Homo-oligomer: A and B are copies of this chain.
């Protein structure tokens, strides 16, 4: 441990290659979202980013490393403490729809999660660390939180699957307000209704 060791932890020092790194990540997100993990090739991503495939390896180590870096998923789920108790369903659905519309990373993780075991593990982590805490705020009985959160996940991911991945025409035709009106009560019930 000499004085030459400089701190790297807090703020990552700006590198001259940051522009390239960002280009790679953007291209990777797009390819992973539209092609899934296996068919999104490093060569295609590099071509999109207008650099050499070896740069991808240099900066991200491997294809798995690139995927991990490309989709650092934060659902930014809203704090439900300020929301009226009978509005949490609609609030969640609204938030999810906005998220999916603007963010193609979500399609990428869902596609990869359906194909790749590592991707599935990542989705389980997202569920555990991001959806569970929110469900805890809305669900009275702590014992039942995981089950009820899983029901919500099924409904919301099913919507994403049919609308953004499988692209069922009727699922795409529904307007956002309509979806909120239909799914909101469902999610609300899964979170707050008494056991059926």
Binding site for B on A (CB under 8 A): 36, 38-39, 110-111, 113-116, 120, 123-124, 127, 146-147, 149-151, 153-159, 161-163, 165-171, 173-174, 178, 181-183, 185-186, 189-190, 196
Contact = CB atoms under 8 A, between A and B. Distances in A.
Contacts of A170: 146-147, 149-150
A39 B147 contact: no
A111 B115 CA distance: 6
Given A147-B178, A155-B186, 17 more contacts: A36-B36, A38-B39, A39-B115, A113-B165, A114-B166, A120-B165, A150-B170, A150-B174, A153-B162, A153-B171, A154-B163, A154-B171, A154-B183, A157-B158, A158-B159, A181-B196, A182-B190
Contacts of A162: 150, 153-154, 157
A169 B153 CA distance: 12
A120 B111 CA distance: 12
Number of copies: 2
Contacts of A159: 154, 158
A101 to B, nearest CB: 16
Given A168-B153, A170-B150, A114 B196 contact: no
Contact of A155 (B154, B169, B178): B154
Contacts of A39: 38, 115
A168 B114 CA distance: 12
Nearest to A146: B170
A182 to B, nearest CB: 6
A154 B150 contact: no
A176 to B, nearest CB: 13
